[in-house]
Structure 1
Amino acid sequence: MPEATSGQARPGGQTQRLVRKHPDELLVGLVSISDRAFAGQYADQGVPALRAWLQDTIVGPMQVVSCVLPDERAQIADTLRGLVDDTGCDLVLTTGGTGPAPRDVTPDATLDVATRELPGFAEQMRQVSLHFVPTAILSRQVAVLRECPDGHAALILNLPGQPRAIRETLEGVHANAQSAGVSGVFAAVPYCLDLIGGPYIETRPERVQAFRPKSARRQQ
């Protein structure tokens, strides 16, 4: 597992800026969005699932900050802005609140803070999920960039709310005798971070085979 430090982000408003200890250290924000988890009616499962998956997949150092929020559009948007602009996260992963129900506002809040949308991620997330459940077509999850005036930029991805669905979306459908498999969305995340000026990260190939063009790969 990579070296990882964890902290709690304050919901909404400014958060303390992370200090990168190595040029390739990944700074990650994890946001679980659920009225009931926020109210303490059950223990949040989204953030622990995301943190464990990242620690099992990322090769190299990583700092993680996290929080649990209610399904409130303005509060979600303020928190996403803070994680990118103030905390300095390179990657922000949200979990929950992506369906068609009236309180599912995570995609709307994410688009509120976006400078550019990356629709290919969302298309692929639904394609992967359709291998498991037909209701994947109901998901409204999005992926966006947030670019700051100082040149810092981050990738924000909306993920499903259930730990199993999170893993499936990130890893994809593994190939077997009956199927060639479908790539999970995380395979494209390292190169995306390269392109927006983020750290160079690598993954464990048994979990995710990250793709980069040959010209973008570091010499070993």
Structure 2
Amino acid sequence: MLTCVKKKVMEKTMRTARFSFAVVTLSDKGSLGLREDTSGPYLIDCLKKEGYQLADYEIMADKHDGIVAKLLELVESGVDLIVTTGGTGPAPTDVTPEATREVIERETPGISEAMRAASLLKTPHAMLSRGCSGIRGTSLIINLPGSLKAARENIEVVLPALPHALDKINGGTSDCGTA
């Protein structure tokens, strides 16, 4: 007989296993091999544990045109969830939100606001995050900060809502109050 905990894990995995995800780490130093990517591998492990299927992982420079091209490639290949990490701060080289806004068709401001609100309880620097999120086609794109600590804290905020969000984006008809 299944324990309650095992049953809940199986139910969660069954809800998420049909969804693919990609992680794109945006770091000029990381793309040159000058900085180890810790947030990308963490996010991959976290989402796999939730039952999502890894479709792609890449470390690339935080350059507008490259980000746009990569996000469009992932959307066109049918990836359900695209998580970026890095490039969301106020530095002149941080252009991830601008590139993401160019790709998305509809914003999901509640996701971004929830992450900033939760982070603000831990550090005043959270108000400097410019990350955004949104939908293009049937893909949900979410910008996370680049540090491992901030990426971990932010993904934990959105994890509970992701299965329902992805289901709805992909045409699911369940009511929001019952999913």
Flag the structure with higher helix content.
2
Equivalent pairs counted in the alignment come to 162
Aligned-pair Cα RMSD in Å: 1.9
Q: Which residue of 1 aligns with 2:12?
A: none
Q: Which residue of 2 aligns with 1:192?
A: 165
User: Is the 1:29–1:91 Cα contact (8 Å) retained in structure 2?
Assistant: yes
Q: Secondary structure at the match of 2:115?
A: helix
Cα deviation for residue 67 of structure 1 reads 0.4
Cα deviation for residue 45 of structure 1 reads 1.5
Q: Using structure 1 for the length normalisation, give the TM-score.
A: 0.69
Q: Distance in 1 between matches of 2:25 and 2:100?
A: 13
Of all paired residues, the percent bearing the same amino acid is: 40
Q: Distance in 2 between matches of 1:31 and 1:101?
A: 19
Runs of 5+ unmatched residues, structure 2: 1-8, 10-15
Give the counterpart letter for 2:168 in structure 1.
L
Q: Which residue of 2 aligns with 1:213?
A: 177
User: Is the 2:44–2:54 Cα contact (8 Å) retained in structure 1?
Assistant: no
Q: Using structure 2 for the length normalisation, give the TM-score.
A: 0.84
Q: Distance in 1 between matches of 2:31 and 2:171?
A: 31
Q: Which residue of 1 aligns with 2:28?
A: 35
Give the counterpart letter for 1:168 in structure 2.
E
Q: Which residue of 2 aligns with 1:76?
A: 67
User: Is the 1:159–1:169 Cα contact (8 Å) retained in structure 2?
Assistant: yes
The answer to whether the aligner puts 1:49 opposite 2:42 as a matched pair is yes
Once the two structures are superposed, residues 94-119 of structure 1 have per-residue CA deviations (whole angstroms, 9 ceiling, x without a partner) of 00000111000000000010111111
Give the counterpart letter for 2:103 in structure 1.
V
User: Is the 1:32–1:67 Cα contact (8 Å) retained in structure 2?
Assistant: yes
Q: Distance in 2 between matches of 1:162 and 1:109?
A: 20
The 1:79–1:198 alpha-carbon spacing in structure 2 relative to 1, beyond 3 Å, is farther
Cα deviation for residue 24 of structure 1 reads 4.6
The answer to whether the aligner puts 1:168 opposite 2:153 as a matched pair is yes
Runs of 5+ unmatched residues, structure 1: 3-22, 148-152, 172-183, 200-211
Q: Distance in 2 between matches of 1:138 and 1:24?
A: 34
Q: Secondary structure at the match of 1:88?
A: coil
Q: Distance in 2 between matches of 1:32 and 1:196?
A: 24
Give the counterpart letter for 2:22 in structure 1.
G
